[in-house]
Each structure stands twice: as structure tokens, then as C-alpha cells.
Amino acid sequence: MVAIGLYALDQLTKYIVLQLLGQWQERVIIPGFFKFVHWGNTGAAWSFLSGNNKLLAAVAAVALVGLFLARKHFELRSRLGRFAFGLVLGGIAGNLTDRLLPGRQHVIDFLRFYLNTANGEVGFPAFNVADSAICVGVTLIFWVSWRTERAARLPAKTSAGPGVS
């Protein structure tokens, strides 16, 4: 359910961007700090491998199927683990949809945080809801896995008090 909800939110926000801005347009929301933009990214994070949309779509499709098939290897017994896994799957599916849609074939990035400096604008690369979900989901998966492994290594606590056998 998390994956489906996240996917729907991601696609809805991108639809809104398409309705409000032409490609490469920007709208300042908080001057010197935040812009609503419509930037297309044919690469991976921070435009790494830019221009390789088909390759990245194939990698995302394989990752999506692989993660789903390997889900038993993740800590999904906890609510937080399931939530995190849903974020990752929904995020991958959202960006994959962008890459596959005819006429688009790029990921729509629209959130841009930046600062104005004496040397011009300096900021974090534009991103979207799916990107955020993947980052948060992966971080949570690592944290849940670390916590679970750590708990397994701790000695078992007994309920018997001192001197009780």
C-alpha cells in the first residue's frame, strides 16, 4: 500500500508540474532559497550518466523486479521495515514511469533548494517525490537492518532474578 500511495503521489505532483510549467521553466517560491522548477533528467542522481535514459530505465526495471523477488531477504517483519521497502519500490516505479512514457522519456525534477551567493546560485540538485522516497527508504532499510542485527547480537535477557536458577 505504501508503494502504491507513494507512486500515486509522485505521479500527481509531476502532473501538476506539467500543468503549471513548461520544460526548463522556474517559479521562485522563497527568494534565495526555494524554486519550483520543471527540469528533465535523462541521467541518474545529480544527472550522473546523463543521456542514458534507456539504460537507466532497464536498470530500474531490473532493480524493481529484483527487489520484489528478493523481499524475503529484507527486514519486513516490522512496520517500519515494510514502510521503508514500500518507499523504495514506489520511488523506483515513479521514476521508471517517467522514463518510459512516450514524449517524456526523462525524469521530471521539480524541487530546487538553493542559496544566492556573491558567485551566483549554489544549491542542491533538483529532485522529486520519488527521489526523496528512495533516499529515505534506503536509509530506513539500513537503519532497521542494523537495529535488528544489533538486537540479535545482544545477550538474551532472562526474567529470573539474581540467585534464581
- In 21-78, which ranges are continuous DSSP H helix? 53-69
Q: Is the sign of the CA dihedral 76, 79, 85, 86 positive or negative?
A: positive
Q: Which residues are catalytic?
A: 109, 131
Q: Among 64, 68, 135, 67, which residue's Cα sits nearest to residue 97?
A: 64
Tell me which amino acid residue 164 is. V
Q: At what angle do helices 79-100 and 2-20 cross, to 10 degrees?
A: 40
3 close to 83: Cβ distance less than 8 angstroms: no
